[in-house]
Amino acid sequence: MSLPEWAVGIRSALDNKMGLELIEVGPRRTRGRVPIEGNTQPFGLWHGGASCVVAETLASLSAYAEVGPQGRAFGVDINATHHRPGTSGWVHGEATALHIGGRLGSWEVVLTDDTGERICTARVTCALVRPRS
């Protein structure tokens, strides 16, 4: 596990509801996983909205890792393509930086099932509010 000190135990009410587990947090890459059970649509399949929540959470944590504890970061755009349904087990997410600039950063987030099959690909753009010197 590779979590910076500030990320150890960081939780939101939505993270708790979804059962998000962080594995690694950094500006260039952030990884986590979420159980499919409890995060499905009425027909028992992984919910596409859950994919968007996980994608934005992982990208936003990467953005926060970039600006540091005195900065702020938040999502301003998300695009998600749902490739296949998830039915059981876990959804694994990895946010990888595509570009980190002065005020904006973009991350590709790939969500896979336990077998490594891609469930969703998302692109998330975050505002980067760096601390004043």
Cβ distance 55 to 119 under 8 Å?
no
Residue type, 47: H
Catalytic residue from among 21, 37, 56, 94:
56
> Any idea what DSSP says for residue 133?
-
Residue 56 annotated to the active site: yes
Q: 34-54 burial, b for 16+ CB within 10 Å, e for fewer?
A: bbbeebbeeeebbbeebbbbb
Distance CA 31, CA 24 (A): 5
Residues involved in catalysis: 56
